[in-house]
Structure 1
Amino acid sequence: MNKISYEFPLNEKCRTYLRIDNLFAQMQANLAMADSWQSLAFFKALFDFMELTERCDMRGDLSKDMERLRLKMQGWRERPDVDTAKLDGLCAELQQHAYQLPRSVRPGSCFKEDKFLGALRQRFTIPGGLCPFDVPIFPLWLAQPQAKRQAQAEAWLSELNLLNTANSLLLDLWREQGSFQPHIAKSAFYQDAADGCELLRLNIDAELGCYPTVSGHRSRFAIRFLPLTEQQRLGDVPFELACC
């Protein structure tokens, strides 16, 4: 079975965390700078990250959510099936990040002083704006040895390590709090309660030819499955769901 996995946020903060997570994955996937197209994909993700973090300073929200999760996890200590050594390690890691984030430099602020990134970013917003006549410095940068380009990309990414590590840790711990259960969307529709959940995770068989759309908030959510083509008619749709 060829399953497609989806994640849907149930609040605006989680939406931002998932977008940041996706952008980091894109940057890391193209970090090798093997060719010009991989380089362009890296810079596209980097500039999207810069624009997203300029709109909102997520350090405070991320710190509060990590502290809230740490206190929740401390309450699990009395459970008989809990690995207390692992729990203590995770709580200490959450506490460290929660303390460091508000005291750190705003992510990406150092990039504003980089003239090369500034010249490139300015042209990224123009359709076809990365032609050699638009940004003559870019072909020169691409002509450098791959190892040198990769080292510079790794240096840019290292400036974001704290945010990346904290964001990934929080999302991973949220994900682990929900287990997948089978469900049936009657006539391609399903709804349920979502008290205290941050995100929904769905698995669906690609052979069914449909995709989910989600509406909701912290208390309730609704999932409607839509067909890939207008000619297709949907009945009951089986899927797996985890509320995290």
Structure 2
Amino acid sequence: MITYEYPFNERIRTLLRLEDLFDKAAYYLQAEGHLEHHVVLLTLFEILEVSRADLKMDLIQELERQRQTLLAFRNNPDISEEALSGALYEIEQASAALLAMTGKIGQHLRDNEWLMSIKSRAAIPGGVCEFDLPSYHFWQHHPAEQRRAALMGWLKPLLPLRDGLTIVLRLLRSSGRPKAQVAPSGGFQLMLGGSNAQMVRVTLRDGDPAIPEISANKYALNIRFTCPDGDLKPRACDREVAFDMTFCNL
């Protein structure tokens, strides 16, 4: 199955973007090559740009709200005490790590003049060539383990954000139940009547050549399916498309 997620507000949109960036950084950090490690550094700069000033407090408040919700299930015979205790412990650990973060998000990166010189050049197409940044070219020739240790040192202070948003998004995704839907002639519309949903997930069979283009707010949802041709140029689907749809809300 392949799932497309569409956030209904800027808060969830930011969390999804950061999740994608942290996943990318973790993936390329394991590689040995200097080109992959260059991607990690660029991804760090993107995390810096995407992280809002109020993100930390927003995550702390949401985790506390979820903790209070879970506490209400204490002594419920239908709920596994072991699983509940594990979930509460995870939330408490993530909250404590976020509270321990001091200063502005990513300030340790902003205070590093060498990194900021790379960041400013990276905004220019082809701006990090060896003749532009010879010191960065020198760093890229360090042993892979030495580069990885430096990258991990710059990434580590941001990991409480990753751990907090991972919990929040996992709870969000698990909050809904998928329902089978059909889009006749490739189009689907649903009136939501002021729904509190924060995200919709659209799931299709992997290999079904249909791509959902979603627009939505709390009052209406519109999905238009396109079918890519040989060069992936989208064209409107003129056939029935079956899919699962899940509304998610914390």
- The TM-score with structure 2 as length reference comes to 0.85
Q: Any conservation in 2 of the 1:185–1:238 contact (CA below 8 Å)?
A: yes
- Tell me which of 19, 22, 31 is aligned to 2:20: 22
Using a 3 Å threshold, how does the CA distance of structure 1 residues 144 and 212 change in structure 2: closer, same or farther? same
Using a 3 Å threshold, how does the CA distance of structure 1 residues 198 and 91 change in structure 2: closer, same or farther? farther
Structure-1 residue corresponding to 2:214: 214
Using a 3 Å threshold, how does the CA distance of structure 1 residues 8 and 79 change in structure 2: closer, same or farther? farther
Q: Any conservation in 2 of the 1:204–1:239 contact (CA below 8 Å)?
A: yes
Structure-2 residue corresponding to 1:90: 87
Structure-2 residue corresponding to 1:126: 124
- Tell me which of 51, 56, 61 is aligned to 2:53: 56
Using a 3 Å threshold, how does the CA distance of structure 1 residues 37 and 192 change in structure 2: closer, same or farther? farther
Q: Any conservation in 2 of the 1:107–1:163 contact (CA below 8 Å)?
A: no
Using a 3 Å threshold, how does the CA distance of structure 1 residues 171 and 125 change in structure 2: closer, same or farther? same
Structure-2 residue corresponding to 1:236: 240
Structure-1 residue corresponding to 2:101: 104
Task: Report the alpha carbon displacement of residue 95 of structure 1 after superposing the two structures with TM.
Answer: 4.2
Structure-2 residue corresponding to 1:167: 165
Q: Any conservation in 2 of the 1:182–1:240 contact (CA below 8 Å)?
A: yes
Using a 3 Å threshold, how does the CA distance of structure 1 residues 231 and 89 change in structure 2: closer, same or farther? closer
% identical aligned pairs: 27
SS in 2 for 1:224: strand
| Matched residue count | 241
- Tell me which of 137, 140, 144 is aligned to 2:138: 140
Structure-1 residue corresponding to 2:114: 116
SS in 1 for 2:29: coil
Using a 3 Å threshold, how does the CA distance of structure 1 residues 124 and 27 change in structure 2: closer, same or farther? same
- In structure 2, C-alpha distance between the alignment counterparts of 1:231 and 1:162, rounded to whole Å: 42
- In structure 2, C-alpha distance between the alignment counterparts of 1:29 and 1:133, rounded to whole Å: 29
The answer to which of 197-206 and 68-77 deviates more is 68-77
Structure-2 residue corresponding to 1:203: 203
Q: Any conservation in 2 of the 1:11–1:218 contact (CA below 8 Å)?
A: no
Task: Report the alpha carbon displacement of residue 192 of structure 1 after superposing the two structures with TM.
Answer: 5.2
Q: Please report the RMSD computed on the Cα atoms of aligned residues, expressed in angstroms.
A: 2.4
Task: Report the alpha carbon displacement of residue 151 of structure 1 after superposing the two structures with TM.
Answer: 1.1
The answer to which of 131-140 and 184-193 deviates more is 184-193
- In structure 1, C-alpha distance between the alignment counterparts of 2:9 and 2:214, rounded to whole Å: 12
Structure 2 unaligned spans of 5+ = none
- In structure 2, C-alpha distance between the alignment counterparts of 1:58 and 1:9, rounded to whole Å: 17
The answer to which of 225-234 and 208-217 deviates more is 225-234
Structure 1 unaligned spans of 5+ = none
Amino acid at match of 2:83: K
Task: Report the alpha carbon displacement of residue 61 of structure 1 after superposing the two structures with TM.
Answer: 1.5
Using a 3 Å threshold, how does the CA distance of structure 1 residues 215 and 74 change in structure 2: closer, same or farther? farther
Q: Do structure 1's residue 189 and structure 2's residue 192 form an aligned pair?
A: no
- The TM-score with structure 1 as length reference comes to 0.87
The answer to which of 62-71 and 145-154 deviates more is 62-71
